[in-house]
Structure 1
Amino acid sequence: MTRRRANPFAIGAFVVAGLAVLAVALIALPGQHWFKQPERVVMFFSGSVFGLQKGAPVVFRGVRIGDVTDISVHYDSKSDTFAIPVLAQLDAEAVRGLDGRRGNGDIGHALPQLIQRGLTAQLGTQSLLTGQLYVDLDFRTKPPGRTHGGYTGDATEIPTSATAFQALKDQLESVDLKKIVDDLSGIANAARTLITAPELKQGMKDFAATATHARSLAAQLDRRAGPLTRGAESALASVDRAGDKVSGAADKLDQGADRASALLDPQGPAVRDLQRSLNELAQASASLREAADGDGPLLQQTERTMQELSQAARALRGLARSLDAQPQQLLLGRQPDVAAPAPVSPPVAEPAR
């Protein structure tokens, strides 16, 4: 029995085909991390996730950093609500890049720190035609992210926030359209009742009468506007003339003020003459005060003069008495004074016994 030798070409072709199949698998399944250990995360969305499929990208500002691995529905019996937990796997190197670390250390603390900085997840639209969604991660503070809690797996929960369109949709869904329609119907009925009310008709008639009266009054004002305008122009002319007079008086007052300022100028001649007169008056007052002083020479001289005048007066009185007693002494000279006789006292009567 002869053995057939293996065909080297067939073996090479088989190996090449296997490598090609492996390369196609790696290219066709980009969401599978074959050589890296991924980071598992979970995100709870409260609204519809229609269009989000397994394998959908998880991006950070347009850069793909992971893939969606599972989508399910979670019922909360306490609040009687439903939530959609979305599981995803993130590239460990990408997480280290977001945290600013490029080493091979533990990344277990990277996501919590990013979440504290405001990392949240939102649903984005990949294509408006297909309606496919993706998970968008970014640092957001408005609106703030919300966490659901209660997940028992080994995944880190990332807070989620609604997009502006989703928030608007939630607000529209919360609007009670039936109540709005009922309110509009009530307003329309009230407006119809008001329009058909007799009071409104009477009010319109009164308004028409008022408008007619206003037109008549306007016509009268137009007829009287001419004389009033002429009177106003005359009054304005009078005011202008009065203003001119006031302006002239103000100019004269300014001139008088300038003259008064010139007269009251400390360096002017009038002020200097007045100051010189005041100084001379002060000197004269000081001289009078010095002369009126009790120890002054003028008062002493006046006192001696008065004493001499008193002595002269006494001498004149003595001369007058002497001439009165002896008038002839002007011719014969003065005679010696004759002693005057002693006065005789009257007899004293004796008392009767």
Structure 2
Amino acid sequence: MKSRKANPLFIGAFVVAGIAILATALIVLPGRHWFNQPHRVVMFFSGSVYGLQKGAPVVFRGVRIGDVTDVTVHYDRESDTFAIPVIAELTADAVRGLDGRADNDDIAHALPALIERGLSAQLGTQSLLTGQLYIDLDIRTKPKGKLRGGYTGEATEIPTSPTAFQALKTQLESVDLKKIVDDLSQIANSARTLIAAPELKQGLRDFAATAGHARQLAAQLERRAGPLTRGAESAMASVDRMGDKVSTAADKLGSGADKANELLDPKGPVVRDLQRAINELAQASTSLRDAADTDGPLLQQTERTMRELSQAARALRGLARSLDAQPQQLLLGREPDMPAPAPVPVAPAKEPAR
């Protein structure tokens, strides 16, 4: 029997095709990182993560950037609480793209910058029917994510923040429904007691009586409303007339004020005339002060004239005395004056003997 010899061309083609298929499978398979080194992160959740499984996607605004690799339970002895650390691996290229520095080979520099800006993780629902969850990463400033710390492995911790439903659930769980029900029961009992109390019945009767009095008062006011309305109308008419008079007086006062402003205008004729009169009075006052000065010529002339008038008056008085003693002087002339008689000595009086 004659044996066939293997064709090297077929063998080579088969090997190349196998390698191509293997490479295509490695590239197409999702959730596997074959050509780059993923970055490991950890996220601590305080509530239930039921529905979150290994291989669940980690997305940033709908774009898948990694996968969940492990979900465990951690007990804290100090606070006596439980936390759920979720380990995930992120694609390095995707994280570098989020930071905006694609040329950076180490994403350890990109994650802290994103966390500083507000990067946090939340649990999202993939399907309402199956209840499967995924990790949703986004930049959130309100509420800001919280870091737990205490992870001993090599992973970067990403803070977590509760969803709106989880926050509402936490608030509802913190509400003491039993106490609220007890308070409502007490309020209902107090309301029943108040309604059945005789004081309330008496108050209702008093209120009805007060309402009757109010109706009577309203009827009386309605009867008297006509005269009061007419009186008010006449009063308003009087007020209107008085307002017109006041307005007219105000107009006159305004015109008088305008005229006064015109008269008191510094550049007006009245002020100029007053200024001129004041200047003339000042000049006359200066002239009078100069005339009344003790060293002035007017006062010296007046003093000389007064002395001459005094001398003339003395001469007239002497002439009058002479004519009175010798009237014949008008015809015969004045006689020479007789010498005055010598005085007679007078002996001193003697003192009486004692």
Other structure's SS at 1:84 match: strand
CA offset digits 1:127-164 (Å, max 9, x no partner):
33433221112232322323333333333322221111
Change (3 A) 1:227 1:4: same
The gaps in structure 1 that reach 5 residues or longer are none
1:174 match? 174
Tell me the residue number matched to 2:82: 82
Residue 241 (structure 2) pairs with residue 241 (structure 1): yes
Aligned Cα RMSD in Å? 3.3
Distance 2:131 2:98 in 1: 29
Equivalent residues in 2 for 1:1-353, closer than 5 Å:
2-6=2-6, 15=15, 18=18, 22=22, 25-26=25-26, 29-103=29-103, 105-339=105-339, 342=342
Instruction: Give distance in 1, aligned partners of 2:346 and 2:43.
Output: 167
- Deviation of the 1:20 alpha carbon: 7.7
Please give the per-residue CA displacement for 1:162-185, whole angstroms capped at 9, x wherever unaligned: 111211122222222222222222
Secondary structure at 2:227's aligned position in 1? helix
Q: SS in structure 2 opposite 1:278?
A: helix
Return the alpha-carbon distance in structure 1 between the equivalents of residues 90 and 325 of structure 2.
Answer: 166
Q: For 1:164 and 1:336, locate their aligned partners in 2 and report how far apart those are by CA, in whole Å.
A: 155
**Cα distance, 1:217 vs. partner?**
0.9
Q: Secondary structure at the match of 1:143?
A: coil
Deviates more, 1:217-226 or 1:168-177: 168-177
Q: How many residues align?
A: 350
What is the DSSP-based 3-state SS (H/G/I as helix, E as strand, rest coil) of the residue aligned with 1:285?
helix
Change in CA separation of 1:126 and 1:221 when aligned onto 2, cut-off 3 Å: same
Q: Give the TM-score taking structure 1 as reference length.
A: 0.84
In the alignment, structure 2 segments of 5+ residues that lack a partner are none
> 1:39 Cα deviation (Å)?
1.5
2:122 aligned counterpart, secondary structure: strand
CA shift digits 1:11-52 (9 cap, x unpaired): 589658845863674367311212222222222222222222
Distance in 2 separating the partners of 1:77 and 1:345: 157
TM-score normalised according to structure 2 size: 0.84
CA distance in 2, matches of 1:141, 1:76: 27
Structure 1 residues 331 and 58, CA, compared in 2 at 3 Å: closer, same or farther? Answer: same
What's the offset of the Cα at 1:107? 4.0
* C-alpha distance after superposition, 1:232-254 (max 9, x if no partner): 11111222222223233333333
